Structure 1
């Protein structure tokens, strides 16, 4: 039986001093630790100290001071490695929004590291489960034995000469991936590092990502999160991580060493390779759920301050679909979020953030406001205003869909791009007018207030939904493994299996699917805006038709490195070529929108839409629902100010021809003043996409379901083939799976991947106590259906 210590005895043993109300959290100053916790409605706060494993409570100390709604105290003998938690006293009045229960051990919202993992029981709930009074009842069981604990850290780390890459938005290419799933089956990563920060930082992994031409890796949530109890009871676990319980601590299940130094070393490795690190962050809700959820931290510290409550404050506003919504309108909650962001941007050197359900963060009492407190705070902050800020611009609350609604300085995920491009290549009719808008940066959403094309983060696939391979292989979702009777996940995916549901040996279907992958990827990378590639799409990774792997910490959700075949290798090479072409032709990523502006001297426009007859497309022709073939002519001589500023060379003239019709279409290249010939840079109807020279008068054939990129030869033109572009951009040739590690053989980790390299003591910091490894990964099954 768990024995609680005597508070009276603790008071005699401890030498607690007043300390300071700032900074919030547990802060080591070299001599001791200052503890500071915000709670506006508490009546008493006890600091609980535990042994190094967090299994035995050693002391319980009342924080002696209360200043500006912050409880604080200073322990002169405390050191990094000290394990602690809080018990907070106050009214248990759910009908007034207060749910204090000092029998529940609570995590510090500012904890920089956690020890141990959650062992679920009814004791984690502030009320008696099964009571006729439901959440109005009061539970007196101690939750400490099954709770993770907080750990004091020494932040010291030697970064050396590592510098942030600071990639311009116009050259940015995002690569969305999962820390655990990316290397769990990577044969070049030693088994003890697979699925960890150290595994992701393995030199072979970093070199491969760089070889594709990726500039910025975007990691699914790495803030400390929990496995939902109901998922564990169903035999699955959270995988994605959208279930935060701490906004400062890296998730320990991804750590081979249990130290924050391992995370910092991962960031340093990517920075050394010129790659930015972006974090997917979840500041819209927590793992505590609604009124029937557990009491783990915020709910027990000050429920009425941390959460947005309904008019009847017993209940929670649920604009997130997860049971609760953080009250970012409260100044102390806003402070916590911005303090967290600054911590990751400065202490961890993160280059940017993608905000899950970001509409929540812009909500004020009257609804979403692009001048809301959080958005204004980011705009004026000298640190946050200089990192990349990316919104998932929706939630499930009233007026939650806000694509294009965020202020200048923000980029946004553009789901209209995703759905439009998918539908077009599936062969749907009447899509060309919107395709034109999406190819050119979606100015209909993003041009207001001087925003730029890069504000549109374009994507075909993301973590939520089909992979690219599954998008062209399945008409329907196949989520049976999730245990929800295939009721979860999107049903309207704009996907097409091309004749057979799932895997097939039919050579024609396989060839068409490969072409469609090339079409979708090339469209993405040749569109104005900021492209995002889902990790594994470059070689046809599959989830077996599961479009909602939030609970699949398994082969279903992991990257299938061991299944790469010849077609997959060809697709990798294709992606490298397309990325190189984008980066070497600034017309494919301009800093301003194109509107058909004409140069009166040259008699040409910056952009012209061309029919298969070689003429400019008329307003009447845009209304033809059967039209599926069009050319997009970009003339850099008109936009030369933009392009010369970027590269200091004469303007390109590029022609993009797309044809989603199933039959070939003869296409006459337009007559352009000064053009003496054309060079085909890429043709998706040819697996190799080899370039060829064309006479200025010669018509081309736009093959059925294909995309071609051509460059004009003219006076002063500088055209670049994919091969020469890759050489100029110094993109290395790297085999995605360079070596298979024999698990039975002694493993010598490659340089830079040794566990010792991730010991903070080797970087000038005091060693931390390693956290007990947690059991899995996760997210909330009620994530908004629009994620």
Structure 2
């Protein structure tokens, strides 16, 4: 049933309507606060049909600060965490007045948290326009950005703007994005988030943002100007021909496990918004809880959130963290799940770019290749097979070629839906991939137990930093080979910010809690030679549409040739040490040499140095 007014706080000429959904709350009050956090008014919401609770308060204007308190049965084993002492953030809040701060008292029953929790703000939204078609189409370069670390050390960005969304529209930033051929930026989560509760005692902070509480309200640390700041940055990026994709976390809430804080959804109706079994929160995310995306209230909140960012900020699409949870019901993952079908049918969302991270920790959680045909998917098989080929693992050439041709063994149909990458925010950056054979996560305070163990990485003879010129040259050579492979890959490709100029996380492959120089991009000391090399690769890809086309490479599009110019036979693909191949496309050839010696190719005639990739355009001398 539709609510009497839009969910959240809806300001009108003579006051504000407050509307919130809860099936199980016995009473819900809205509280108003002044600038000093003192409560100045309180009103009981009237419970109506369909679980909607509503109140109208006269003379409340945009800028007013508010929160909710809900009362009802306290029975966590049934999903009921009702505690009228807890101030709850509106799940439809469009803005909050401060960042979240972790505190043990957020989870203590009976402790009044009004002084600890951000207040939602009654908001006047920017003037929306009819959404323009997305700027990004499959086949381009997605550039993954953590908003805070991206510009915290950028010397050309004014200090007050560093680490914010506004900085993304700075001319120096846009010039860099254009230089390396970025088609769309993918912003790691910018919805308001809270630190995991084990981090403050370690003097650590979550710098990535994958721990959202409200989904529409932007985190004041990255967007002090709220949704208007995002709208302005999107407009500037669009003017430069660059799309904007938002990374969304709809798989869990920052309220964590049963011992976590009661901040919003848990206190409003945990039984409806969270998945439970045998009196326990289901944890398909590794973060303590799983949101019930198969239920109508959560589906509505997700759809309304996506529409909000498209209509009010003009974003081009979304990447979904741990996306199988969006489509998991009682019978497991369903590519035809109601939420996915609703996104496809929505007139605002239907033409947006949708990207799945196609795995989670739940039953049947690995779903690469199984999302709807209009979705793109992060391809971890590409990541691992390309790493293993360049590391020198045996019997890898066939898998390597399958990946750069579009992963036809994963995605059915003529088009590849792969988002192909070698490094992302999870795991090693490119520079560390060739300098560390194992993770070094001691700074995270978990005894090096966190983060993935199988990195398929190598160190070129020395673990970690080296002053040996030969080792440094070998590492730069390997990074260039990996970058060239990505740019030679069919379909959509992705780089993580800074990999184009040699960023390092000092061997940390799970740096989510390092909101410091470990993750902040060191612009002043970046490798300009590597950056220029990346820009040259982008130029080659732009001039060679057969490299980036969205369809799979098939026999009619491509010839796979041995160095002697002959076609690859079945036995050649499976040779344990096969490491050199020429790929001939219309207008361009790409020559891969993984071996430790230079290889001379016959067609086209060119000698390629050890562990290198060469591009030869038709009509240009080899």
1:62 equivalenced with 2:31 (yes/no) = no
Q: 1:382 to 1:119 in 2, by over 3 A?
A: closer
2 CA distance for matches of 1:123 and 1:484?
A: 23
1:44 equivalenced with 2:27 (yes/no) = yes
2 CA distance for matches of 1:120 and 1:569?
A: 40
Question: Is the CA contact 1:20–1:34 (under 8 Å) kept in the aligned structure 2?
Answer: no
**Aligned position for 1:766:** none
Question: Is the CA contact 1:163–1:271 (under 8 Å) kept in the aligned structure 2?
Answer: no
2 CA distance for matches of 1:573 and 1:258?
A: 34
Question: Is the CA contact 2:136–2:316 (under 8 Å) kept in the aligned structure 1?
Answer: no
Deviations 1:576-604 (A, max 9, x none): 1111111121110223222213xxxxxxx
Deviation at 1:165, TM superposition (A): 5.9
Q: 1:153 aligns with which of 93, 98, 123?
A: 123
Deviation at 1:444, TM superposition (A): 0.9
Deviations 1:710-740 (A, max 9, x none): 2334xxxxx799xxxxxxxxxxxxxxxxxxx
1:591 equivalenced with 2:522 (yes/no) = no
Alignment of 1:359-374 (within 5 A): 359-374=324-339
1 CA distance for matches of 2:198 and 2:260?
A: 11
Deviation at 1:158, TM superposition (A): 8.2
**Aligned position for 1:22:** 5
Q: 1:121 to 1:575 in 2, by over 3 A?
A: closer
1 CA distance for matches of 2:434 and 2:457?
A: 6
1:520 equivalenced with 2:505 (yes/no) = no
Question: Is the CA contact 1:223–1:247 (under 8 Å) kept in the aligned structure 2?
Answer: yes
Q: 1:120 to 1:176 in 2, by over 3 A?
A: closer
**Aligned position for 1:31:** 14
Deviations 1:250-289 (A, max 9, x none): 111113x444322221112111111111111100000111
Deviations 1:203-248 (A, max 9, x none): 2112221222111011110001112232011110111111000111
1:79 equivalenced with 2:61 (yes/no) = yes
Deviation at 1:499, TM superposition (A): 1.2
Deviation at 1:20, TM superposition (A): 5.8
1 CA distance for matches of 2:103 and 2:560?
A: 63
Q: 2:204 aligns with which of 210, 228, 236?
A: 236
**Aligned position for 2:366:** 401
**Aligned position for 1:700:** 606
1:478 equivalenced with 2:435 (yes/no) = no
Q: Secondary structure at the match of 1:521?
A: helix
Deviation at 1:156, TM superposition (A): 2.9
Question: Is the CA contact 1:164–1:276 (under 8 Å) kept in the aligned structure 2?
Answer: no
2 CA distance for matches of 1:511 and 1:141?
A: 59
Q: Secondary structure at the match of 2:607?
A: strand
Deviation at 1:164, TM superposition (A): 6.1
2 CA distance for matches of 1:626 and 1:121?
A: 56
1:711 equivalenced with 2:617 (yes/no) = yes
Q: 1:720 to 1:24 in 2, by over 3 A?
A: farther
**Aligned position for 1:693:** none
Question: Is the CA contact 1:26–1:36 (under 8 Å) kept in the aligned structure 2?
Answer: yes
Q: Secondary structure at the match of 1:28?
A: strand
The CA RMSD measured in Å over matched residues stands at 1.9
2 CA distance for matches of 1:25 and 1:708?
A: 56
Q: Secondary structure at the match of 2:276?
A: coil
1:616 equivalenced with 2:579 (yes/no) = no
Question: Is the CA contact 2:128–2:311 (under 8 Å) kept in the aligned structure 1?
Answer: no
1 CA distance for matches of 2:133 and 2:260?
A: 41
Q: Secondary structure at the match of 2:542?
A: helix
* Stretches of structure 2 lacking an aligned partner (at least 5 in a row): none
1:416 equivalenced with 2:381 (yes/no) = yes
Q: 1:284 aligns with which of 251, 264, 274?
A: 251
Q: Secondary structure at the match of 2:229?
A: helix
Q: 2:594 aligns with which of 660, 671, 682?
A: 660
Question: Is the CA contact 2:430–2:502 (under 8 Å) kept in the aligned structure 1?
Answer: yes
Alignment of 1:346-745 (within 5 A): 346-448=311-413, 452-453=415-416, 455-564=417-526, 568-597=527-556, 606-634=557-585, 636=586, 652=587, 654-669=588-603, 699-713=605-619
Q: 1:533 to 1:500 in 2, by over 3 A?
A: same
Q: Secondary structure at the match of 1:630?
A: strand
Q: How many residues end up aligned between the 2 structures?
A: 621
**Aligned position for 2:266:** 299
Deviation at 1:141, TM superposition (A): 2.2
Deviation at 1:667, TM superposition (A): 2.1
Q: 1:162 to 1:105 in 2, by over 3 A?
A: closer
1 CA distance for matches of 2:43 and 2:26?
A: 14
Question: Is the CA contact 1:165–1:271 (under 8 Å) kept in the aligned structure 2?
Answer: no
2 CA distance for matches of 1:585 and 1:611?
A: 22
1 CA distance for matches of 2:132 and 2:310?
A: 13
1:140 equivalenced with 2:110 (yes/no) = yes
1 CA distance for matches of 2:207 and 2:405?
A: 35
Question: Is the CA contact 1:164–1:271 (under 8 Å) kept in the aligned structure 2?
Answer: no
Deviation at 1:157, TM superposition (A): 4.4
2 CA distance for matches of 1:362 and 1:720?
A: 52
Q: Secondary structure at the match of 2:305?
A: helix
Question: Is the CA contact 1:595–1:607 (under 8 Å) kept in the aligned structure 2?
Answer: yes
* Stretches of structure 1 lacking an aligned partner (at least 5 in a row): 1-18, 128-138, 598-605, 637-651, 670-677, 679-698, 714-718, 722-787
Q: 1:61 to 1:420 in 2, by over 3 A?
A: same
Deviations 1:31-59 (A, max 9, x none): 32111100011111101111135x11111
- Largest Rg, 1 or 2: 1
Question: Is the CA contact 1:195–1:254 (under 8 Å) kept in the aligned structure 2?
Answer: yes
Deviations 1:85-140 (A, max 9, x none): 00111111223322211111111100000113445444322x5xxxxxxxxxxx22
Deviation at 1:338, TM superposition (A): 0.7
Q: 2:138 aligns with which of 165, 169, 172?
A: 169
Of 86-95 and 356-365, the range deviating more from structure 2: 86-95
Deviation at 1:505, TM superposition (A): 2.0
Q: Secondary structure at the match of 1:300?
A: helix
2 CA distance for matches of 1:21 and 1:327?
A: 24
2 CA distance for matches of 1:121 and 1:555?
A: 25
1 CA distance for matches of 2:494 and 2:385?
A: 16
2 CA distance for matches of 1:291 and 1:709?
A: 55
Normalised by the length of structure 1, the TM-score is: 0.77
Q: 1:259 to 1:166 in 2, by over 3 A?
A: closer
Q: 1:162 to 1:243 in 2, by over 3 A?
A: closer
Question: Is the CA contact 2:69–2:85 (under 8 Å) kept in the aligned structure 1?
Answer: yes
2 CA distance for matches of 1:97 and 1:282?
A: 21
1 CA distance for matches of 2:535 and 2:369?
A: 30
Deviation at 1:147, TM superposition (A): 1.0
Deviations 1:326-366 (A, max 9, x none): 00111111010011011111111111111000011110111
Q: Secondary structure at the match of 2:584?
A: strand
1:93 equivalenced with 2:45 (yes/no) = no
Q: Secondary structure at the match of 1:361?
A: helix
More relative contact order, 1 or 2 (CA 8 Å, 6+ apart): 1
Q: Secondary structure at the match of 2:199?
A: helix
Question: Is the CA contact 1:112–1:150 (under 8 Å) kept in the aligned structure 2?
Answer: yes
Deviation at 1:700, TM superposition (A): 2.9
